[in-house]
Structure 1
């Protein structure tokens, strides 16, 4: 059974995506939906390929993408997508991971001992 992925995209992502890689707002919505789908399916290779094609860095768009009301890392933990979650952690600066609240969310929601939460701890120490 497949779960339906609902994606919310902020105006900041649309503006950022349009300025970073000449991506139009409609393409930014499509990009966000694809990234959420890749996270849900734990498909790191397709995520990397899509970002390479659109010439977008994850750190540039991470804050603007929300999947079912969660950040990409929270969504990865909720869907047990350890591989792509660890990849996302490796692509974000430690300072960003330190202040975004994903680790606090993980501990509050029973994911504090996950591979992703441990990767966040390693990057922020």
Structure 2
């Protein structure tokens, strides 16, 4: 009987300390998205550096308002942030992203970011 009570007390104590995990990556992604939307290249760069991240390694995991970072930048006319992002990604990834087609079909075809994408895709 004492053994059962001890096990029950242990389980209750262990579950009392378990809560829904708060992911630091979620807050980091929110910060990155807000810096892109604000066209704050310097804050974006600093956040990546402070967290020892390479954009090419985390790019696919960050979605802002349902959009990849470059499309989020196009939507918010954040040319400086977009140019930084594009410069950090491999040219093959930029070329295969479909961002130009997305921009043209969503009314952003005249964005100056499209030229940067085209230039990076060619290299």
Question: TM (normalized to structure 2)?
Answer: 0.78
Runs of 4+, deviation exceeding 6 Å: none
| SS class of match (2:63) | strand
Residues 82-119 of structure 1 show CA distances to partners (whole Å, capped at 9, x for unaligned) of 11111111111110011121121111112222121110
Query: Higher relative CO (CA 8 A, sep ≥ 6), structure 1 or 2?
Result: 1
State whether structure 2 residue 26 is matched by structure 1 residue 29.
Answer: yes
1:50 shift after superposition: 0.7
5+ long unaligned stretches in structure 2: 1-20
Residues matched between the structures, number: 102
State whether structure 2 residue 74 is matched by structure 1 residue 84.
Answer: no
Q: Which residue of 2 aligns with 1:5?
A: none
Q: Which residue of 1 aligns with 2:54?
A: 57
Q: Which residue of 1 aligns with 2:7?
A: none
Query: Of the two, which has the highest radius of gyration?
Result: 2
Q: Which residue of 2 aligns with 1:120?
A: 117
